[in-house]
Structures are given as C-alpha cells and as structure tokens.
Chains A and B, each alone.
Chain A
Amino acid sequence: MRTLLCLILVILGSTGGEVAVTHAMKQIGEIQIFFPRALLGFFIRALKEKWFWIGVGLLALGFFSLLTLLTWAEVSLVIPATALSFVVGGLAAKLFLGEHLAPLRWAGIALVSLGVALVALG
C-alpha cells in the first residue's frame, strides 16, 4: 500500500513537474535557439515564471519520493513501473496542454514504455 502510494507520487511528481515546466515554456513563447542573447533572456524569463517553480517543486517531490521508495522497494520493480510515466505524460499533455496525440504517437509511446520496462528488468 505505501509502495503504491509512493509510486503514484513518483509518477505524478516527475510527469506533473515536466508538464508544468512545459506550460511555463509555452507561456514565454517560442524561442529561436541560434540567437545566444535571446536564449539567455529566455532562461532569465523562465526563472520569473510561476509555473516553472511549480514544476521544479513537483520534480523535487517526485525525486525525493523515488529516493524514499528505493530505501525499501526493489529497483527492478520501481523503474518498470515508472515507465508508465510516458503514458501518464501523454494523457496529461492531451488534457492540460491541449496537444493532439495521433494514434501513431500513442503507439510509439506504448513501445517506449515497454522498452524502458524491459531495459530495467534486464
């Protein structure tokens, strides 16, 4: 039970954090990466964005939940389970970021999840 709870915190923290950071980046606006000065300005603006810090907080929560979980759970259980975060990330991107996920992308996400689980179990 506490393993499941901790696992949910790991997945929600890491995925939620990345989705929040993505939302922050989309607020700042599209960047042209080959202009170094614009790039610097972009990162400074990121630090002023509320959603960036919400994202960092969630990522920290996910990271420390993972460390806690690893004090009693097997790595071979934890990492395959976190492979699910790609599927959770796809759903979150659709729901919260309004991205359009074509069937081909879902198929790719499913394969990536399976592959990551196999690499971890191997």
Chain B
Amino acid sequence: MPARNTRQLETIVLLAPIVLFASAGNVLLAKGMKQVGQAQSWSPAALAVLFAKAFANPWVWLGIASLLVFLMSFMAVLSWADYSFVAPAAAVSYALAPLLSHWWLGEVVTPMRWAGVGIICLGVALITRTPARTTGLD
C-alpha cells in the first residue's frame, strides 16, 4: 500500500498562523473596544455613535485585518485537512488568550484558568497524533 499523503506536518505548521491571527485579532479588538467604551444605551442613535467610534479606532482595524488573515488561512487548510482535526487543534488559541491578555493587558489569570490552559494543550497534543486528513485519499 502506498503511503497516504495526509500533509500532516504542513497542517500542524499552518495551525500557527491560524492560532496567532485569531488570538491577536481578538486581543486587538478587545483593546480597541475598551478605548471606544461602553454603549450609553441600546438606542439606534447610541449604537450608531458606538459603531462610528469603533471604525475610527486603529486597533479595531488591526483586529479586523488579523481576523481576515485568520479566516483565509483557516479556509486554505480546510481545503485538504479534516474539520474535526483543525477546529479543536486551533482551540490552542483559547489557551493563548489568557497568556496574551496576561502579558499585554495585565489581566490576572486564575489557577482554574491555568488548569484549563494545560488541559487544552494536552487535548491538542492528542489530536495532532491522529492523521490530519481522512477524506479524499485514494
């Protein structure tokens, strides 16, 4: 039987831009929206002001650009890799989010959150040991 090309290493390497741009995008958006401030009310006028302020904020635009790069790398990888491989493996971003917010925004990370970070990493390690692709193979 010929070796089946699951593009294993390539898939795992491409998790890096997926995870980094997803995490960076969320942190940048959070940073931007904190500068923008809370909605004064839920009236259409107040929401319009909020959106106008959000779209005038450079961090919000950096966040959106980051999320677009994330989406495009996610789509490219899914052209060959399993969804059930990529989606949970990309959940490493949920482990990165506390780390980045700890370093960049100075947020406190609780012991329970650190435990979650560890369990996510273990789960992702198991997933990367399964073949990245199980469909469309000859």
The residues of A with any CB-CB pair to B shorter than 8 Å are 18-19, 21-22, 25-26, 28-31, 33, 39, 42-43, 46, 86, 89-90, 92-94, 97-102, 104-105, 107-122
User: Does the CB pair A18–B87 fall under 8 Å?
Assistant: yes
Count: A-B pairs, CB below 8 Å: 142
Closest CB of chain B to A57's CB: distance in Å? 15
Question: A29, A101, A115: which contacts B119 (Cβ < 8 A)?
Answer: A115
Contacts of B95 in A (CB 8 A): 115, 119
B:118-138 near A, CB below 8 Å: 118-127, 129-131, 134-136
Asked if A105 and B127 sit within 8 Å, CB to CB, the answer is yes
Q: Would you give the shortest CB distance from B71 to chain A, in whole angstroms?
A: 9
Contact in complex: A119, B98 (CB < 8 Å): yes
Which of chain B's residues have a CB closer than 8 A to the CB of A120? 116
Given A93-B83, A105-B85, A115-B95: A33 and B78 interface contact (C-beta under 8 Å) = no
Q: Is the CB of A118 within 8 A of B115?
A: yes
| Given the contacts A104-B126, A111-B126, A25 and B75 also touching, CB distance less than 8 Å | yes
Give the B interface residue count (CB, 8 A). Answer: 44
- Determine if A86 and B91 form an interchain contact, defined as CB atoms under 8 angstroms apart: yes
User: A28 to chain B: closest CB distance in Å?
Assistant: 6
- Judged by DSSP, the binding face of A is helix
Given contacts A109-B127, A111-B123, contact A31 B91 (CB under 8 A): no
In the complex, are the beta carbons of A115 and B78 less than 8 A apart? no
Decide if B117 touches A115 in the complex (CB within 8 Å).
yes
Contact B129 A104 (CB under 8 A): yes
4 residue pairs, one from A and one from B, having the closest CB atoms:
A111-B123, A122-B113, A118-B116, A115-B120
Residues of B within 8 A of A89 (CB): 83-84, 87-88
